[in-house]
Structure 1
Amino acid sequence: MENDNLAAIGIGAMIVFIALILVAAVAAAVIIQTAEKLQQNAQSTGDDTTDEMSGKVQILNVFVDDPADTYVVYFRLAAGSDDTAANDILWQIFCEDPDGGGAGPPAVPTTDRIAGDFSDGTAPTAGFPEIIPLDDATDPPVEVDVAEAGVAYRYSLNAVDAGNAQDCGPNHLFTENIKASLYIHVVGGGSTFDVLKVNDASRGAVVV
């Protein structure tokens, strides 16, 4: 009886073909998974960039309110921002204290730091939202607890802590001829930076 070599060759070729299909399927799965991962990373990066660019505060102007301790910050949310709660808008202010608060001699310069958020206003009702729309002509003005996109607001920022140990108020900056750094952060969004220089500590003076 003659051996049927053609059948054996056919079975071997079929095994090789099936193996190639399996390898191709595994390779395709890896490629698809990698592509999906890259797409997700790109989407996440794009979303984060959008949040940082749009979810931030634009400072319009800063004025002296109470020369002893308070500034009025005029601001609005950046274009494309969502409405933002007052307690989600955080601020920090830093300034130099040349004599270290009077410690010494010799005097050792220190950095004063004060922080808060836009829900901890000073006046007229301390402890309540202090965001007031600029177009509000009522007396007393109506405070709100959410900043809406496209609306300009003002906020009273107290730059002196309760014990006067940390002081970046207008009088301090003017007397010491120093500058302060103001940072405003939006939770889940971006940050804004501005430098405050008081050339005139009288109420209503523009801070540059």
Structure 2
Amino acid sequence: MRTENTSQEEDTWGAIGIGAMIVFISLILVAAVASAVIIQTAEKLQQNAQNTGDQTSDELSGKLSVMQGYVDANNDYVLYVRLAAGSSSIPAATVSWQLYCGNAAGYEDSTGAGGFGQANVQRQSVSAFGAGVSPMIVSNSYKILIDAQGVCNANLIAGQDAQLYIHVESGGTTFETLSVPAGATTGSPVI
């Protein structure tokens, strides 16, 4: 019988193949985690953009544009307004105002003695303030009576400015500076 001595060499090629497969699988897992993070970030950015767009749309969809303003017979103010472009109709009762007078003279708002409701909003074509209107729609022009019965009357702040904010509930805010001329009389422009 013949005896054959064979020596077995180590096979390193198999170990290299398994190592490469482990590295490949780990790269796939890292790529999956990275793509999940990117997808989550993209979704969050999309949601933030959608929320910002909705808020902007809400502010613009209910906002008034002041066209002109005059001193009324009772030293109050009459403003001629329209709904801003892109606005939807709004109930007149959702509109309120704040009036700040110069030199720390005072502050008045629509909840004070003058009040502010549908009777103080009227279509521009109607001569007097009567029953009021509701809702205000884009195709019409309106006039608003700012009943400044206190410290912001036109005769008390003649020659000064007053800051007016007109708010629409769940909508936007319009800022306007009323410049009351010295010696203001009925019909004197303030805007």
State the TM-score, normalized to the length of structure 1: 0.71
- 8 A contact 1:67–1:171 mirrored in 2: no
From 108, 121, 124, the counterpart of 1:131: 121
Provide the rounded CA distance (Å) in 2 between the counterparts of 1:76 and 1:169. 24
Provide the rounded CA distance (Å) in 1 between the counterparts of 2:50 and 2:78. 38
- 8 A contact 2:118–2:131 mirrored in 1: no
Task: After superposition, give the CA deviation of every residue in 1:92-133 in whole Å (9 maximum; x if it has no partner).
Answer: 111136xxxxxxxxxxxx33000127x943xxxxx6542211
Provide the rounded CA distance (Å) in 1 between the counterparts of 2:49 and 2:72. 45
SS at match of 1:170: coil
Q: Equivalent residues in 2 for 1:38-117 (5 A)?
A: 38-68=45-75, 70-96=76-102, 110-116=104-110
SS at match of 2:17: helix
Q: Which amino acid aligns with 1:64?
A: V
Give the unaligned 5+ runs of structure 1.
98-109, 122-126, 161-165
Provide the rounded CA distance (Å) in 1 between the counterparts of 2:115 and 2:153. 17
SS at match of 1:37: helix
Call closer, same or farther: CA 1:191–1:45 in 2, change over 3 Å: same
Is 1:173 matched with 2:173? no
State the TM-score, normalized to the length of structure 2: 0.77
Is 1:21 matched with 2:55? no
Provide the rounded CA distance (Å) in 2 between the counterparts of 1:82 and 1:72. 23
CA shift at 1:79, angstroms?
0.4
Work out the percentage of aligned pairs sharing the same amino acid: 44
CA shift at 1:151, angstroms?
1.6
How many equivalent residue pairs? 181
- 8 A contact 1:120–1:129 mirrored in 2: no
Provide the rounded CA distance (Å) in 1 between the counterparts of 2:145 and 2:99. 13
Give the unaligned 5+ runs of structure 2.
1-6
Q: Which amino acid aligns with 1:145?
A: S
Residue 179 of structure 2 corresponds to 197
- 8 A contact 2:58–2:170 mirrored in 1: yes
Specify the structure having the higher radius of gyration (Cα): 2
Residue 163 of structure 1 corresponds to none
Is 1:144 matched with 2:133? yes
SS at match of 2:152: coil
Task: After superposition, give the CA deviation of every residue in 1:13-44 in whole Å (9 maximum; x if it has no partner).
Answer: 32222211111100111111112222222333
Residue 124 of structure 1 corresponds to none
SS at match of 2:190: coil
Q: Which amino acid aligns with 2:79?
A: V
SS at match of 2:73: coil
Q: Which amino acid aligns with 1:172?
A: L
Residue 144 of structure 2 corresponds to 155
